Amino acid sequence: MSTDLSIVSLVLGASVLVQLVMLLLLLASVISWFVIFRKFKLLKLASAAALKFEDEFWSGGDLSELYTRLNRRRLDREGMEKVFETGFAEYARSYKTTNDPAFMMASIQRSMKVALAREEDKLESNLSLLATIGSTSPYIGLFGTVWGIMNSFTALGAVQHASLAMVAPGIAEALIATAMGLFAAIPAVIGYNRFSDLVERLVGRYENFAEEFATILQRQSIKKSAAKKATSESEAE
Protein backbone atom coordinates (compact mmCIF):
# COMPACT_ATOMS: atom_id res chain seq x y z
CA MET A 1 0.00 0.00 0.00
CA SER A 2 1.57 3.29 -1.11
CA THR A 3 1.57 6.41 1.03
CA ASP A 4 0.73 9.79 -0.44
CA LEU A 5 3.72 12.03 0.32
CA SER A 6 2.62 15.11 -1.63
CA ILE A 7 3.08 18.42 0.15
CA VAL A 8 -0.66 19.10 0.29
CA SER A 9 -1.47 15.74 1.82
CA LEU A 10 1.39 16.05 4.30
CA VAL A 11 0.20 19.49 5.42
CA LEU A 12 -3.41 18.33 5.72
CA GLY A 13 -2.33 15.22 7.60
CA ALA A 14 -0.09 17.05 10.05
CA SER A 15 -1.04 17.48 13.68
CA VAL A 16 -3.02 20.55 14.72
CA LEU A 17 -0.03 22.21 16.38
CA VAL A 18 2.21 21.69 13.34
CA GLN A 19 -0.54 23.06 11.10
CA LEU A 20 -0.78 26.15 13.32
CA VAL A 21 2.99 26.60 13.05
CA MET A 22 2.78 26.34 9.26
CA LEU A 23 -0.09 28.83 9.17
CA LEU A 24 1.88 31.25 11.35
CA LEU A 25 4.91 30.95 9.10
CA LEU A 26 2.80 31.43 5.98
CA LEU A 27 1.32 34.58 7.49
CA ALA A 28 4.80 35.84 8.43
CA SER A 29 5.99 35.23 4.88
CA VAL A 30 3.05 37.14 3.38
CA ILE A 31 3.63 40.06 5.78
CA SER A 32 7.36 40.17 5.05
CA TRP A 33 6.81 40.25 1.27
CA PHE A 34 4.20 42.98 1.69
CA VAL A 35 6.66 45.05 3.75
CA ILE A 36 9.47 44.36 1.25
CA PHE A 37 7.49 45.58 -1.77
CA ARG A 38 6.13 48.59 0.11
CA LYS A 39 9.53 49.55 1.52
CA PHE A 40 11.17 49.13 -1.89
CA LYS A 41 8.63 51.52 -3.42
CA LEU A 42 8.99 54.03 -0.56
CA LEU A 43 12.78 54.16 -0.69
CA LYS A 44 12.80 54.36 -4.48
CA LEU A 45 10.44 57.35 -4.41
CA ALA A 46 12.36 58.99 -1.56
CA SER A 47 15.68 58.62 -3.39
CA ALA A 48 14.22 60.04 -6.61
CA ALA A 49 12.61 62.94 -4.72
CA ALA A 50 15.90 63.74 -2.97
CA LEU A 51 17.78 63.76 -6.28
CA LYS A 52 15.17 65.99 -7.89
CA PHE A 53 15.16 68.45 -5.00
CA GLU A 54 18.97 68.60 -4.90
CA ASP A 55 18.99 69.58 -8.57
CA GLU A 56 16.37 72.21 -7.88
CA PHE A 57 18.14 73.52 -4.78
CA TRP A 58 21.59 73.79 -6.35
CA SER A 59 20.29 75.33 -9.57
CA GLY A 60 21.23 78.76 -8.21
CA GLY A 61 17.73 80.11 -7.69
CA ASP A 62 16.58 82.26 -4.80
CA LEU A 63 15.83 80.24 -1.66
CA SER A 64 12.78 82.37 -0.85
CA GLU A 65 11.29 81.58 -4.24
CA LEU A 66 12.00 77.88 -3.77
CA TYR A 67 10.31 77.96 -0.38
CA THR A 68 7.29 79.73 -1.89
CA ARG A 69 7.05 77.18 -4.70
CA LEU A 70 7.06 74.33 -2.21
CA ASN A 71 4.24 75.93 -0.23
CA ARG A 72 2.18 76.47 -3.37
CA ARG A 73 2.21 72.76 -4.15
CA ARG A 74 0.08 72.16 -1.04
CA LEU A 75 1.43 68.68 -0.56
CA ASP A 76 2.88 67.05 2.51
CA ARG A 77 6.59 67.59 2.13
CA GLU A 78 8.84 64.66 2.98
CA GLY A 79 12.51 63.89 3.05
CA MET A 80 14.90 66.60 1.94
CA GLU A 81 12.07 68.99 1.07
CA LYS A 82 10.80 68.77 4.63
CA VAL A 83 14.25 69.46 6.06
CA PHE A 84 14.60 72.50 3.80
CA GLU A 85 11.12 73.79 4.60
CA THR A 86 11.67 73.43 8.35
CA GLY A 87 15.07 75.11 8.26
CA PHE A 88 14.01 78.03 6.08
CA ALA A 89 10.79 78.62 8.06
CA GLU A 90 12.81 78.78 11.28
CA TYR A 91 15.31 81.08 9.57
CA ALA A 92 12.49 83.46 8.57
CA ARG A 93 11.02 83.46 12.07
CA SER A 94 14.39 83.94 13.78
CA TYR A 95 15.36 86.76 11.43
CA LYS A 96 12.33 88.75 12.56
CA THR A 97 12.98 88.28 16.27
CA THR A 98 16.78 88.46 16.68
CA ASN A 99 19.92 89.94 15.16
CA ASP A 100 22.23 87.40 16.78
CA PRO A 101 23.50 84.99 14.07
CA ALA A 102 24.68 82.45 16.65
CA PHE A 103 21.28 82.24 18.33
CA MET A 104 19.60 82.12 14.93
CA MET A 105 21.75 79.21 13.71
CA ALA A 106 21.26 77.26 16.93
CA SER A 107 17.50 77.54 16.50
CA ILE A 108 17.67 76.53 12.82
CA GLN A 109 19.87 73.52 13.50
CA ARG A 110 17.59 72.31 16.29
CA SER A 111 14.57 72.54 13.98
CA MET A 112 16.29 70.67 11.16
CA LYS A 113 17.56 68.03 13.60
CA VAL A 114 14.00 67.32 14.70
CA ALA A 115 12.85 67.15 11.06
CA LEU A 116 15.71 64.78 10.23
CA ALA A 117 14.78 62.49 13.13
CA ARG A 118 11.18 62.32 11.96
CA GLU A 119 12.15 61.56 8.38
CA GLU A 120 14.55 58.87 9.56
CA ASP A 121 11.75 57.28 11.60
CA LYS A 122 9.55 57.18 8.49
CA LEU A 123 12.28 55.53 6.43
CA GLU A 124 13.02 52.96 9.14
CA SER A 125 9.38 52.04 9.77
CA ASN A 126 8.69 48.28 9.64
CA LEU A 127 12.37 47.41 9.33
CA SER A 128 12.23 45.99 12.84
CA LEU A 129 9.34 43.77 11.71
CA LEU A 130 11.50 42.30 8.94
CA ALA A 131 14.30 41.74 11.45
CA THR A 132 11.90 39.97 13.82
CA ILE A 133 10.51 37.71 11.10
CA GLY A 134 13.99 36.92 9.82
CA SER A 135 15.34 36.01 13.26
CA THR A 136 12.37 34.08 14.70
CA SER A 137 10.92 32.19 11.71
CA PRO A 138 13.62 29.47 11.61
CA TYR A 139 13.09 28.75 15.31
CA ILE A 140 9.32 28.62 14.93
CA GLY A 141 9.73 26.20 12.04
CA LEU A 142 12.20 24.14 14.09
CA PHE A 143 9.67 23.96 16.90
CA GLY A 144 7.09 22.53 14.50
CA THR A 145 9.65 20.04 13.19
CA VAL A 146 10.63 18.85 16.66
CA TRP A 147 7.01 18.48 17.67
CA GLY A 148 6.14 16.53 14.51
CA ILE A 149 9.12 14.17 14.84
CA MET A 150 8.33 13.64 18.50
CA ASN A 151 4.79 12.61 17.63
CA SER A 152 6.06 10.28 14.92
CA PHE A 153 8.43 8.46 17.24
CA THR A 154 5.79 8.33 19.97
CA ALA A 155 3.40 6.63 17.56
CA LEU A 156 6.21 4.36 16.38
CA GLY A 157 6.87 3.17 19.90
CA ALA A 158 3.26 2.09 20.31
CA VAL A 159 3.47 -0.62 17.60
CA GLN A 160 5.30 -3.93 17.66
CA HIS A 161 6.47 -4.04 14.06
CA ALA A 162 7.90 -0.65 13.08
CA SER A 163 8.93 0.30 9.57
CA LEU A 164 10.27 3.33 7.77
CA ALA A 165 6.99 3.69 5.88
CA MET A 166 5.19 4.28 9.15
CA VAL A 167 7.44 7.10 10.35
CA ALA A 168 8.30 8.70 7.00
CA PRO A 169 5.08 10.75 6.59
CA GLY A 170 5.34 12.21 10.08
CA ILE A 171 8.99 13.20 9.61
CA ALA A 172 8.28 14.62 6.15
CA GLU A 173 5.41 16.80 7.39
CA ALA A 174 7.55 17.97 10.27
CA LEU A 175 10.38 18.99 7.95
CA ILE A 176 7.95 21.09 5.91
CA ALA A 177 7.70 23.38 8.94
CA THR A 178 11.47 23.94 8.86
CA ALA A 179 11.37 24.63 5.12
CA MET A 180 8.56 27.15 5.61
CA GLY A 181 10.52 28.82 8.40
CA LEU A 182 13.49 29.28 6.09
CA PHE A 183 11.21 30.43 3.28
CA ALA A 184 9.85 33.17 5.54
CA ALA A 185 13.19 34.10 7.09
CA ILE A 186 15.56 34.35 4.12
CA PRO A 187 13.70 37.10 2.16
CA ALA A 188 13.10 39.01 5.40
CA VAL A 189 16.80 38.98 6.33
CA ILE A 190 17.89 39.97 2.81
CA GLY A 191 15.29 42.74 2.71
CA TYR A 192 16.28 44.04 6.13
CA ASN A 193 19.98 44.20 5.28
CA ARG A 194 19.35 45.81 1.90
CA PHE A 195 16.88 48.40 3.15
CA SER A 196 18.98 49.24 6.20
CA ASP A 197 21.86 50.09 3.89
CA LEU A 198 19.62 52.21 1.64
CA VAL A 199 18.10 54.04 4.61
CA GLU A 200 21.55 54.76 6.04
CA ARG A 201 22.73 56.21 2.73
CA LEU A 202 19.58 58.28 2.28
CA VAL A 203 19.73 59.65 5.82
CA GLY A 204 23.38 60.49 5.20
CA ARG A 205 22.33 62.54 2.15
CA TYR A 206 19.74 64.34 4.28
CA GLU A 207 22.32 65.12 6.95
CA ASN A 208 24.87 66.39 4.41
CA PHE A 209 22.21 68.61 2.86
CA ALA A 210 21.22 69.95 6.28
CA GLU A 211 24.85 70.84 7.04
CA GLU A 212 25.35 72.58 3.69
CA PHE A 213 22.01 74.38 3.98
CA ALA A 214 22.87 75.53 7.51
CA THR A 215 26.16 76.94 6.21
CA ILE A 216 24.33 78.90 3.51
CA LEU A 217 21.83 80.28 6.02
CA GLN A 218 24.65 81.21 8.38
CA ARG A 219 26.33 83.27 5.67
CA GLN A 220 23.07 85.00 4.83
CA SER A 221 22.30 85.71 8.48
CA ILE A 222 25.74 87.24 9.03
CA LYS A 223 25.35 89.44 5.93
CA LYS A 224 21.87 90.59 6.90
CA SER A 225 22.90 91.18 10.49
CA ALA A 226 25.82 93.32 9.29
CA ALA A 227 23.51 95.19 6.90
CA LYS A 228 21.03 95.86 9.70
CA LYS A 229 23.79 97.11 11.95
CA ALA A 230 25.16 99.41 9.25
CA THR A 231 21.68 100.78 8.55
CA SER A 232 20.98 101.48 12.21
CA GLU A 233 24.36 103.21 12.62
CA SER A 234 23.77 105.41 9.56
CA GLU A 235 20.32 106.36 10.85
CA ALA A 236 21.79 107.24 14.25
CA GLU A 237 24.30 109.55 12.62
Residue 100, classed as helix, strand or coil, is: coil
What is the rounded CA–CA span in Å between residue 120 and residue 114?
10
Q: Residue 236 domain-assigned?
A: no
SS3 readout for 142-185: HHHHHHHHHHHHHHHHCCCCCCHHHHHHHHHHHHHHHHHHHHHH
Q: What is the pLDDT of residue 164?
A: 57
C-alpha 121: how far from chain center: 8
Q: Residue 49 domain-assigned?
A: yes
The total of structural domains in the chain comes to: 1
Dump pLDDT digits (tens) for 100-148. Answer: 778 888 888 899 999 999 999 999 988 999 999 999 999 998 888 888 7
Q: Residue 6 domain-assigned?
A: no
Residue 131, classed as helix, strand or coil, is: helix
Dump pLDDT digits (tens) for 172-201. Answer: 777 888 888 999 999 999 999 999 999 999
Which of 42-46, 61-65, 121-125, 190-194 is least confident? 61-65
Q: What are phi and psi of 126, to 5 degrees?
A: 75, 0
Q: Residue 41 domain-assigned?
A: yes
Q: Residue 95 domain-assigned?
A: yes
Identify the domain containing residue 84 by its residue range: 18-228
pTM to 2 decimals? 0.79
Q: Residue 167 domain-assigned?
A: yes
Question: Which ranges of the chain would DSSP assign to H, the alpha helix?
Answer: 7-13, 16-57, 63-72, 80-97, 101-124, 127-157, 164-236
Q: Residue 33 domain-assigned?
A: yes
Residue 109 CA: distances (Å) to CA of 116, 179, 212: 10, 50, 11
Q: Residue 3 domain-assigned?
A: no
Which of 93-97, 102-106, 167-171, 231-235 is least confident? 231-235
